[in-house]
Amino acid sequence: MAQGVWVVAEERDGEIRKITYEVVSEGRRLADALGQELTAILLGSNMKEKAADLGQYGADKVLVADDPRLDPYTTDAYVSVIAQLVKANEPAVLLMGASVQGKDLSGRLSARLNVGMAQDCTAFEIKDGNLVATRPIYAGKAYATVTFENSWPQMATARPNVMPVNEPDSSKAAEVIDADFTLDDAELKTKVVDIIRDASGKIDLTEAERIVSGGRGMKGPENYEILEKLADLLGGTVGASRAAVDAGWRPQTDQVGQTGKVVSPNLYIACGISGAIQHLAGMGTSKVIVAINKDPDAPIFQKADYGVVGDLFDVVPALTEEVKKYL
């Protein structure tokens, strides 16, 4: 009989990523509802000293798979190790973040385990001892409730910045266990030969709590400087619509939308973005949405909590000055 809730932790450059604390916190809530233990899997190289800290957010145990071949991340290696651990322990629920890495990993892993998987979920609950997941469909126009029948582990990924993070309790530490696994070099068909890092040092869009985005209304790449100033004051980062990226004004890594990054910040300011379905699908779950557009009929206003009808080249600098005064 499958028992326990498991979550897959995510690390980069030896540091636990924010999405991990979100899925651990949500996993704790689900484990309590089931009356079972919460176990986190942490893969990487020399990560053991970070493992116990996950107990502060609710993990009872952390299985550490420590091997130089697990750093940096590759799909082949991670799927092999996690599949072995899941098959040996038979957890009831398996969660991970719907980050770039999580989406890549979850699809392959669900196929390896031969189980269904609910992607990019915004809510979870336990009903009759089973996981029930809620996820957006039709570009965020509707939400589907997903249940799992005769499939263990019940597997899902959580959209970043949606699940609340537990307040860390420094008096708690997880039990750290060395994972028992084998890793055959013949299985590792991919190898990372180089990593090209973003030299700007900007916050990853999927983890940012405040985003200022610009679209076709920015008129050119040189005008994004006014958005950069506002984003810096707010402690956030700059995004872009697909139209702006296709025009070559911003890099593809800045694209928010169905074919870009899905974000859920506390504050999303859309400047000169009309609000096409493709874009709304990527930011519709933001906590507060502010739209600045000179077209009063722009679809973005239907989604926005606050709207300013006006020229962004007048509104954004004025808003920036007001933020300076407030700070």
- For 82-150, the DSSP string reads HHHHHHHH--SEEEEE-SHHHHHHHHHHHHHHT--EEEEESEEEEETTEEEEEEEETTTTEEEEEE-SS
Percent of the chain residues topping a pLDDT of 70: 99
From CA 285, how far away is CA 136, in angstroms rounded?
Answer: 9
Residues 6+ apart with CB under 8 A from 75: 104, 105, 108, 190
Q: What is the largest CA-CA distance in the chain?
A: 63
Tokens matching residue 115: 């189980």
CATH 3.40.50.1220 spans which residues of the chain? 210-326
CATH 3.40.50.620 spans which residues of the chain? 5-187
The whole-chain average pLDDT of the chain stands at 94
- Condensed to tens digits (0 to 9), the pLDDT of residues 298-322 reads 999 999 999 999 999 999 999 999 9
Domain boundaries 5-187, corresponding CATH code:
3.40.50.620
Residue 180 has pLDDT above 70, yes or no: yes
Neighbours of 1 (CB within 10 A): 5
- Condensed to tens digits (0 to 9), the pLDDT of residues 105-150 reads 999 999 999 999 999 999 999 999 999 999 998 878 899 999 998 8
| CATH entry 3.40.50.1980 includes domain 210-326 | no
From CA 83, how far away is CA 87, in angstroms rounded?
Answer: 6
Residue 1 has pLDDT above 70, yes or no: no
pLDDT score at 2: 76
pTM comes to 0.87
Residue type, 312: L
Residue 247 has pLDDT above 70, yes or no: yes
- For 221-288, the DSSP string reads GGGGHHHHHHHHHHT-EEEE-HHHHHTTSS-GGGBBSTTSB----SEEEEES----HHHHHHHTT-SE
